[in-house]
Amino acid sequence: MKLKKSVLVLLTLVISAYTTSDIKNINVADSIINWVGYKVTGQHEGTINLLNGSLNFKDNVLVGGKFVMDMTTINTTDIEGDYKNKLDGHLKADDFFGVEKHNTATLVFTSVKENGGSYAVVGDMTIKGITNKVSFDLALTENTATTSLKIDRTKYGIKYGSASFFDGIKDKAIYDEFDLAVKLKF
């Protein structure tokens, strides 16, 4: 019996020696999250800061990740002055992201598959305390991960100005989906 346990322990040690796990923390100062929101009459764009994040590798293959965005940093970059301040304030208000109660949004990878030089990722995105699955492709280089994804804000209870929920808003309509373009340095 002792011999079986010894062999089992030895086998476990040998296997773990050949499979290395590595967690790479994201350099939040050098990482960028850009957003673009669309409306019938145009669009607005800006940034959101990353609070923290990491990518998990096993034998140099991506296997997971987790990211936390600081929703209090929502910043509009395509306009200035009073209109910028008004829009930033509205995006932070309860009828949009409600940052006073929900100051972070998270993304946790639940499935990662190699896909011809990039990775097909499925994850749980939590915004305003509501979690939904999102899918996207993630490209990796030596120390950078990039992706673009669409988020349907109405799935997170953000219905303000949505023609899907309100009739007669015509040219005041804001499209349900917004884009995120992400460049992470690690």
- Has residue 25 been placed in a domain? yes
- Has residue 7 been placed in a domain? no
Q: What is the count of structural domains for the chain?
A: 1
Q: Which domain holds residue 116?
A: 20-185
Any idea which of 18-32, 54-68, 70-84 has the lowest mean pLDDT?
18-32
- Has residue 4 been placed in a domain? no
How confident is the model at residue 171, as a pLDDT? 86
Q: Choose from 14-18, 77-81, 170-174 the range with maximum mean pLDDT.
A: 77-81
- Has residue 79 been placed in a domain? yes
Residue 103: CATH number of its domain: 2.40.128.110
171-177: long-range contacts, CB 8 A cutoff, minimum separation 24: 171/40, 171/41, 172/39, 172/40, 173/39, 173/40, 174/37, 174/38, 174/39, 174/40, 175/37, 175/38, 175/39, 175/40, 176/152, 177/38, 177/150, 177/151, 177/152, 177/153
Per-residue pLDDT band at 16 (split at 50, 70, 90): very low
Percentage of the chain beyond pLDDT 70 is 90
- Has residue 2 been placed in a domain? no
39-68 pLDDT, tens per residue? 999 999 999 999 999 999 999 999 999 999
Q: pTM for the complete prediction?
A: 0.86
- Has residue 65 been placed in a domain? yes
- Has residue 34 been placed in a domain? yes
- Has residue 26 been placed in a domain? yes
